[in-house]
Each structure stands twice: as structure tokens, then as C-alpha cells.
Amino acid sequence: MEKAASPEIGRVAVVTHGKPDTIGDALERLERAAANAGVEVVAAEDGRPDLAVVLGGDGTMLRALRSYLGTSVPVFGVNFGRVGFLTSLSRNELESGLSRVFAGDFQVVELSTLVVDVGGERHPAINDAVATSARLGRMVELGWGLGGEDLGRQPCDGMICATPSGSTAYNLSNGGPVLMWGLEAMAITFVAPHSLHARPLVVPHDLTVRITNRTSDVPVTVLADGHPIGELAPSAFLEVGIGEERSRLALLPEVTFFARYNEVFP
């Protein structure tokens, strides 16, 4: 796992999940903590802050990580969601934890991302890329290959390509492998495969997977981090590989991958 030095914090942006009833007075509490530390709070779209602080859950964390992808801005999370696997603090620890963060007491972990090519358009994904049936209840047949090698066809409900940070999400719920943060690898997992022999696979960073819709009468929807980015007609394909850009996750020093894993998945 690659870790970067903590930058000096002078300006922070705040990203919330847009549910005022859920976060309550968290924004005011954050602003007081920042004022006490001599840190300026700016709007998320206002320039480039030294740090982005998320008040929300994993969905808001993904949105913030995607927004600051390709910049030097790390993203730190206070959990106001359900799971909050990527966050460092509970809502009750906001003041004490942020006072440490504003003083530079945190680490930055570089997380690999995916690049998804659909019809020549490239899209980043922080967690995962999914190819799934566009028609509810209809199975599809997906052809797939790695590094130019054809690996056959698989009747299924879909296929997941997950980053290490995304391996504990939809991938895990479908029986896929958990990958530790910092690995330059991708997990490939079938959704409800119509086979006793389909198994998840972990592939290195230099291999690209090609997924082809081999179903004659059902289109395939392509999702990046849960958002539709395209559709595959019969015989059309997409390609997924490890992206060159990395997302930057800020964590308290004691919040390691295994600490979060043992806490969330006891």
C-alpha cells in the first residue's frame, strides 16, 4: 500500500450527501473545528482545497473521490451513512478527529481506479464497472477475454470488475474476493452465473478484460460506480482495465484496511 505524506492544511472543502436531517448540525460542528484550527472552509467547487472532508457514507465518498480524481486533493470521511467502509470517523468523533486531521495527523493512501471504454468513450470508476442485463429478469450471455485471449462465454446476470476499494462492495456480495487497498489488481466476478464452474478471478494491472454481449435479443447495460454509462447491443463490447489515475483516500493513522475490514465485517 502506497502512502503519501500529509499536506499542510489551510483550506478544506466539504462534501455532503444532501440529506440535512441525517447530518444535522455536522456542518456547523465542522466549521467550528476548522475555525479553532485556523483552517478556511471553502465550497467544493471553489478552487483547489488542501483536503476534502465528506459528511456522509460510502456513496458520498465515491462521489468526492471521483470529483478530485487527477488532483492532489485527498478525501477524508466522517461516517453519516450506513456502512462507511472508506470513512475514518463516526459522527460522534467529528470534533476530536478533525482537530487531528487539521493538524496534519493523517495518512494518504493511493487507490487504483478503473478505466471503462464503451464505444470509444472512456469513463473512470473508483469502485467497479458492471455489465448487466438491461431487462429485469432476463439472463444474458457474455463473452469475455483477457489480454487478447478468448475465455469463452458465460450465461449469467452480469459481470463485475472491481478495484481493491470496490472489492468489499457489490463484488463481495456476489462471492468475489476481497483485495487489500494498495494492490494494482482487478477482481472479476460473475453475477448469478448459470454454471457450476464459473469462479472469480484476480488479474494484474497490465491486463484488460473485454466483455462482449453475445445475447441475440437482450441489450447489456454498463455501469460505472452504479451509474449507467452506456449500453451494448448484441455483438458490441466494452473494455475495462486499471486506470493510470489514482484516487487519494485520507485516513487517521490507526485506521488501516484490516481495522476497517474487521470492524465492518466481523
Q: Which residues are catalytic?
A: 58
Residue 44 neighbours by CB under 8 Å, 6+ apart: 13, 14, 15, 52, 64, 67
Distance CA 213, CA 218 (A): 8
Query: Exposed (0-12), middle (13-18) or buried (19+): which is 110, by Cβ within 10 Å?
Result: middle
Residues 136-141: contacts with CB under 8 Å, at least 24 apart: 138/218, 139/192, 139/194, 139/218, 140/213, 140/214, 140/215, 140/218, 140/220, 141/213, 141/214, 141/215
In terms of Cα–Cα distance, which of 135, 123, 118, 110 is closest to 250?
110
